[in-house]
Amino acid sequence: MRRFDTPENIAPILAEIKAFYTPLYNPAALVALDCVALLQANRTRNYIAVRTPERGGFYYHSRVTLELFKELDAWTQAAETEPGELDAWKYQEEQRIMEAVRAGLIREYAKA
| pLDDT on residue 58 | 87
Q: List pLDDT tens digits, range 39-78.
A: 999 999 999 999 988 888 889 999 999 999 999 999 999 9
**CA angle, corner 95, sides to 91 and 100, nearest 5?**
145
Question: pTM of the entire structure?
Answer: 0.90
For the chain, which residues make up each domain, given as ranges? 7-109
Secondary structure, 3-state, 35-98: CCEEEEECCCCCEEEECCHHHCCCCCCCHHHHHHHHHHHHHHHHHCCCCCCCHHHHHHHHHHHH
The torsion defined by the Cα of 10, 13, 18 and 19, in degrees rounded to 10, comes to 140
Q: What is the pLDDT of residues 95-112, one digit of tens each?
A: 999 999 999 999 999 864
pLDDT of residue 9: 95
pLDDT digits (tens, 9 = 90+) for 7-40: 999 999 999 999 999 999 889 999 999 999 999 9
Look at residue 21 and give its three-state secondary structure: strand
